[in-house]
Amino acid sequence: MWLEETSRAEFDAGGRVVRVKGLTRDITRRKRNEERQDLLSAELDHRVKNVLARVAAVVRHTRRRSGTTDEFVNALDGRIQSIATAHSLLSQSRWSGVSLADLIRHQLAPYTTDANTMISGQDVMLTPAQTQAVAMVIHELVTNAAKHGALSSPNGRVSVSWERTGADATAALTITWHELGSPPMAAPVQSGYGSSLIRDLIPHELGGTVDLVFASDGACCKIEIPLYERR
């Protein structure tokens, strides 16, 4: 408990104290609010630094893998928009978590319609760290599908499904991305920044696994994420 005291003394003609009046107030609520504000400011500072570090890494790697200025600008814009979308969803929930279904729909929105996509899975809430990592991976899968895969063909389709398995320390989320009807590949898919990010980001940041295969009829990606909190 926090207490704030104020007092005033009254004196007689000889200068002696004859009375002291005082007031003690309970300011616990105010101090708790101040502490909470300090924590929020520190957390905001931490998140801004993380976002800036992530953007800086994206800029650096995108520049290395871009052949022209236009290619660099387009790729960078898409990746930053993906980060911004995830950040916006987290802000709407006051950073308490984001629905996986909402996240996937937002990442697919610029390229898809009801006719070329199918989304299915139980209601799963992602933590802020999971939201940011999954958003970037899904963005790379969407971008690849729009350029070379199922979303570049009028007959192509993308299926995204997920399920939660296990409980407590064994709880895991499995996300399956499957493309059908992709145009035939003229040459084997080269490993670029996008495919490297898909394969490496989830294991590095969330301790999960990723199995990415570029088959003749389209990409197939299986992502498994542990749902217990990492220490």
Could you read off the pLDDT of 199-212 as tens digits, one per residue?
A: 999 999 999 999 99
Distance of CA 42 to the CA centre of its chain: 19
| Residues 81 and 33 reside in one and the same domain | no
pLDDT above 50 (res 231): no
| Residues 135 and 82 reside in one and the same domain | yes
pLDDT above 70 (res 163): yes
Structure tokens at 53: 């570090």
The H or E element spanning position 84 is helix 69-92
- 97-101, 130-134, 163-167: segment of lowest average pLDDT: 163-167
Classify residue 77 as exposed, middle or buried by CB count within 10 Å of its CB (0-12, 13-18, 19+). exposed
> What is the pTM assigned to this prediction?
0.79
| Residues 181 and 136 reside in one and the same domain | yes
Structural domain harbouring 21? 1-48
Average pLDDT on 4-17 reads 93
| Residues 222 and 112 reside in one and the same domain | yes
| Residues 133 and 21 reside in one and the same domain | no
Q: What would the pLDDT profile of 106-119 be if each residue is shown by its tens digit?
A: 999 888 877 899 99
In a domain, residue 231? The reply is: no
pLDDT above 90 (res 30): yes
Torsion, Cα 129 133 136 142, to 10 degrees, reads -120
In a domain, residue 56? The reply is: no
In a domain, residue 182? The reply is: yes
Torsion, Cα 198 220 182 71, to 10 degrees, reads 0
pLDDT above 80 (res 228): no
Helices (H) and strands (E) in the chain, counts: 5, 9
In a domain, residue 104? The reply is: yes
User: What pLDDT, on a 0 to 100 scale, did the predictor assign at position 66?
Assistant: 83
User: What is the total count of domains within the chain?
Assistant: 2
First vs last C-alpha separation in the chain? 32
What gap in Å lies between CA 229 and CA 171, rounded to an integer? 10
CATH, residue 114: 3.30.565.10
In a domain, residue 59? The reply is: no
| pLDDT category of residue 31 using cuts at 50, 70 and 90 | very high
| Residues 76 and 12 reside in one and the same domain | no
| Residues 28 and 75 reside in one and the same domain | no
Q: What would the pLDDT profile of 177-188 be if each residue is shown by its tens digit?
A: 999 998 876 554
